[in-house]
Amino acid sequence: MEVSAEKTETALASVSHMTDDRWCRWWTHDRLGGDQTAERRSSAALVPIRERLLDRARLRPADVVLDIGTGTGFVGFGALKRLGEEGRVIFNDLSSGLIDTCVRRSEQLGVTDRCSFVVADAQDLAGVESESADVATARSVLCYVADQAAAFAAIARVLRPGGRLSLFETIHVRQLAVGAPTMFGYVVPGLDRAAASVEAWLRTSTEGGSDQPTFDEIDLLVWADMAGLADAIVDVDLRFTTSAAVLTDWSAFLASRPRPWSPTIREIMSGALDAQDMTNVEDRLRPMVERGEVPRRIQSFAYLTAVKAA
């Protein structure tokens, strides 16, 4: 009997967060403060993105799919369901802990014979043989990569002639909140001074980890062209929307970590705010978090497809 992918992912996350692997710990625990309900909400919200990403990959039954930066295998196991019995997925991630999670999940799903696993940086994909994949997929990977051009070159190396790339990235430079200055993504009236203090602390503190990706859809096209990937097409979704709330538990919100190397929300607040501002932030922000309120914002997502010349 096939094990529910969502249940398996949640169960594996609960044991994986104890590892010393920073990426694994962040992805399975720190990202959402260890809140398993929030993890399920987050996964549900990502399903349409995964399905569109795989639709654009134009999978064939016997394809070998390389899922780059696989995390807990959200896209990779989704691809495996679409392939025929001869199709395979190579799960790749920088984190050995996350790859271990994918191995255990493949065992529970009974599909290990159709999977292989490679621990490697997306910037070189060392350990993935040249021209060994028919399709490469990547969801929100380039935003964590220092050299995006190198990552595209590595993708071109491992794709077979005629192989396809399908990736998804949030275009952070177009992510705009609508209204007053934001506090951790929330528009909270009356907290302009506190919001400015947090922004200044993140900008100047060596602990801030405030670096945000600055590339856009044009950069994606340029990198694909530089790597020798032909027929590169980017579709951009630009939306004025309110996202569904993911974190509604205040303790988990404070324990969450925006990026793998950044402090937690609690640590940022402690470093940036004085006692009065700390009180004001909690009095105003906490009810919004617990009610599941989120600000209206402009969101920009890019889907890129490209083909390695035959």
Average pLDDT over residues 29-39: 94
Rounded distance, CA 294 to CA 257, Å? 18
Residue with more model confidence, 73 or 211: 73
Average pLDDT over residues 213-221: 94
Confidence of residue 146 (pLDDT cuts 50, 70, 90): very high
Rounded distance, CA 190 to CA 141, Å? 36
Rounded distance, CA 115 to CA 138, Å? 17
Q: What is the pTM for the complete model shown?
A: 0.89
Average pLDDT over residues 185-189: 82
Domain ranges of the chain: 5-308
Average pLDDT over residues 250-273: 94
Whether the Cβ atoms of residue 145 and residue 218 lie closer than 8 Å to each other = no
* Phi, psi for residue 117 in degrees, rounded to 5: -140, 130
Beta carbons within 8 Å of 275's beta carbon, 6+ residues apart: none
Residue with more model confidence, 230 or 1: 230
Rounded to the nearest integer, the mean pLDDT of the chain is 89
Q: What is the pLDDT of residues 64-101, one digit of tens each?
A: 999 999 999 999 999 999 999 999 999 999 999 999 99
Confidence of residue 202 (pLDDT cuts 50, 70, 90): confident
107: tokens are 């065992």
- The architecture that CATH gives domain 5-308 is 3-Layer(aba) Sandwich (3.40)
